[in-house]
Structure 1
Amino acid sequence: FSLHQLQIQPVGTFKISPGSNYFPVVGSRSNVVTGEMVEELILSGADIIKVGIGPGSVCTTRIKTGVGYPQLSAVIECADSAHGLKGHIISDGGCSCPGDVAKAFGAGADFVMLGGMFAGHDQCAGEVLEKNGKKVKLFYGMSSDTAMKKHIGGVAEYRASEGRTVEVPYRGDVETTILDILGGLRSTCTYVGAAKLKELSRRATFIRVTQQHSQVFF
């Protein structure tokens, strides 16, 4: 299934007094997976649209509801619609390595959200626990039982949890992971001939494969 034909309400308006100092207000809406929904939201006043239903590493929405869309396809379609209206998109979910981040930008994403790749680091929420002699941190989806109990007092009886809570290895400071991602992105640009990140979507071509890398030592 995919979501469509939802009634969209205007994002809202802001009144600024003449002569006052203010920063431009940027509005975002989420989450959608089709070009039609992106167009509806941008035309209703949103500047940035978050794209992704169910691709997250601790998300169970597709299992619980049957609703979802392959993330790469969603980003390609939604980016095309957003950029045609001078809007932007955030790819939310589905990345497990620097190459996935590069593919998201190559598909047209303006921003990429990385939950699972940053989980376990010092800068992430949650205390460090020790289990069987190893340090771990809890990582949970924002529609999980854990998140709803923590932020809104529990799961309402009329709805289901759509996320998992898992233990991930403690990984220390996030700097090493960020440098690895940035290094991968720079290398991606050299391979495809992109002088800057924004050019990546114009240089990238996607093909379907059954195996992406050698499995000899994996």
Structure 2
Amino acid sequence: MAVILPEVSRTLNEYLLVPNLTTEDCAPDAVDLSAPLVRHPIGQPSPLRIATPLVSAIMQAVSSPRLAIALAQTGGLGFAHQNQPIAAQARMVSAVKRHKAGFRHSDINTKPTATLGEVSRLLQAAERDIAVVTDDGSPTGLFVGLIGSRDFHPQRHDLNDTVASRMRPADTLVTAPPTISLSDANTLIWDQRLDLLPIVTADGHLASIVLRRDYELHKQFRNETIDAEKRFRIGAGINTRDFRDRIPALVEAGADVLCIDSSDGYSVWQQRTLRYAVEELGGVVPVGAGNVVDGRAFRYLADAGAAFVKVGIGGGSICITRDQKGIGRGQASALIDVAAERDRYAEETGVYVPICCDGGLLADYHMAVAFALGADFIMLGRYFARFDESPSNLVKLDGQLFKEYWGEGSQRARNVARYDQGETELPFEEGVDGYVPYAGSLYPNVARTVAKLRATMVSCGATTLPDFHRDAVLVQVSQQSYLQNGAEVRLRSGSSSTGQ
């Protein structure tokens, strides 16, 4: 007969943290949230660590070069989604890798022959104040000038006029060569009172740009996720179908880490994909795997060479795998089981394989609970989909702003490679298509979330995630606690409740 586990499937919402002693040494500024992203021998550092243990979901509604750059600036890591042609995904990875910390690949560009109306719409859509003008409108074309919101006004100037009629020509602007250091570039920006410094090659082509606001962000976020050449790091999703073609292309594009993107990772197909990456390619880039919900599946993937293992099936906000297939496990129960197996595996083999909590996170405090239960880092979809930097459309519904959001198992995504149901088309959906409340820019939101995590860990007497794993005390929440927490209160104007 079937095996019946002697437990109730628990969600993250069913636990609260019990405070531990907060000592004089335990303060928010002393909390180190850094985490290993990939496997490593016990006692040795992980080859890839992130200062902010948050990564973006491998989803069309979340992945974009802009979001990956912003997330790397704040110390996390973005993943380029795999539900697209290999060349397109490689271009997404390359777009991020072209950015060095402080040196941006120009993403708001126009031609001198474009109209003022066109550039006005471009700036409005990108929520930027200035665009770079190149001869062909590309980010590497001949640099011919700059145009911004201070150079023309839609009510004063004819929007059918060309950009050339109002732009600031290149020969009147301060520029710098690619050999300039970031420190000297920032000095030039402040000395010359610039918002944007174009970096121009000897033959006049645009190489990159340096923005004043990036200097301020760098001062705020001092732990950017960068490689040895100070380029932003980026991950990419892969599948178990075209991995022999996709992995080499992504490695060539510069991907720092890969992850098999699947709703259920406990399969021989993932084992074969990992073996190819580890044995045939010699492990040139680490490959994570998943998703799983128990220790058996974790060990299977760890033995196959997984760099990390994602935990969670059916707990995502737009995932309906549980409704459609009856498969899954409460995220808290899954984390408890997998974390215990991870620790046993580390003790037996001397190798630590990080686990990633993917799904089941509906509020910021759920992240703290997930870390307390053993997660090394967290993958978020809905959380990041709400921000300016996500690629989905901003829409207004009943007077409120939303961002479009859809699951990789939805018909909109048509991601057969991820949800392989033995067909060339999806016979049924495992995800939904909807909207999430718009929340503004990624930067202040991530800073707020990090502040909450630090404050929670201080209350629990922990200054590192390993300490938190070891010392956290949790209690299950009763039904009466739910009712008490849900008491309705009318808020004064201007008050707000900030969650995900």
Q: Same fold (TM over 0.5)?
A: yes
Alignment equivalent of 2:467, drawn from 185, 193, 199: 199
Q: Provide the secondary structure at the position in 1 that maps to 2:327.
A: coil
Which letter maps to 1:32?
Answer: V
Matched, 1:79 2:79: no
Q: Provide the secondary structure at the position in 1 that maps to 2:385.
A: coil
Which letter maps to 1:79?
Answer: A
Matched, 1:93 2:353: no
Alpha-carbon separation, structure 1, partners of 2:428 and 2:356 = 26
Matched, 1:48 2:308: yes
**Deviation string, structure 1 residues 131-161 (Cα, Å, up to 9, x no partner):** 3333221111111111117999xx8456311
Which letter maps to 1:141?
Answer: G
Q: Provide the secondary structure at the position in 2 that maps to 1:118.
A: helix
Which letter maps to 2:305?
Answer: G
Greater Cα offset, 101-110 or 78-87: 78-87
CA shift for structure 1 position 189: 1.1
Matched, 1:9 2:271: yes
Q: Provide the secondary structure at the position in 2 that maps to 1:139.
A: strand
Which letter maps to 1:135?
Answer: L
CA shift for structure 1 position 14: 4.2
**Deviation string, structure 1 residues 59-110 (Cα, Å, up to 9, x no partner):** 1000000001010110111122123332111100011112100011111111
| Counterparts of residues 170-185 of structure 1 (less than 5 Å) | 170-185=438-453
- Percent sequence identity is 30
Name the structure 2 match of 1:20: none
Which letter maps to 1:215?
Answer: G
Which letter maps to 2:436?
Answer: V
Alpha-carbon separation, structure 1, partners of 2:343 and 2:427 = 35
Matched, 1:167 2:435: yes
Alignment equivalent of 2:485, drawn from 207, 214, 217: 214
Counterpart contact for 1:33–1:74, Cα < 8 Å: yes
Alpha-carbon separation, structure 2, partners of 1:26 and 1:83 = 20
Distance change in 2, residues 1:6/1:174 (3 Å) = closer
Name the structure 2 match of 1:19: none
What TM-score, normalized to structure 1? 0.85
Which structure has more relative contact order (CA 8 Å, sep 6+)? It is 2
Counterpart contact for 1:98–1:180, Cα < 8 Å: no
Q: Provide the secondary structure at the position in 1 that maps to 2:339.
A: helix
Which letter maps to 1:26?
Answer: P
Alpha-carbon separation, structure 1, partners of 2:447 and 2:367 = 13
Counterpart contact for 1:144–1:161, Cα < 8 Å: yes
Q: Provide the secondary structure at the position in 1 that maps to 2:391.
A: coil
Which letter maps to 1:130?
Answer: K
Which letter maps to 1:53?
Answer: I
Alignment equivalent of 1:112, drawn from 378, 386, 397: 378
Alignment equivalent of 1:190, drawn from 450, 454, 458: 458
Alpha-carbon separation, structure 2, partners of 1:137 and 1:107 = 31
Show structure 1 runs of 5+ residues with no match.
17-22
Name the structure 2 match of 1:144: 410
Alpha-carbon separation, structure 2, partners of 1:32 and 1:159 = 23
Counterpart contact for 1:27–1:46, Cα < 8 Å: yes
CA shift for structure 1 position 114: 1.5
Alpha-carbon separation, structure 2, partners of 1:151 and 1:9 = 16
Distance change in 2, residues 1:149/1:67 (3 Å) = closer
Query: Would you say how many aligned residue pairs link Structure 1 and Structure 2?
Result: 210
**Deviation string, structure 1 residues 20-46 (Cα, Å, up to 9, x no partner):** xxx963221111101011001101111
Alpha-carbon separation, structure 1, partners of 2:323 and 2:474 = 27
Distance change in 2, residues 1:149/1:45 (3 Å) = closer
Q: What is the root-mean-square deviation of aligned Cα atoms in Å? A: 2.8
Q: Provide the secondary structure at the position in 2 that maps to 1:45.
A: coil
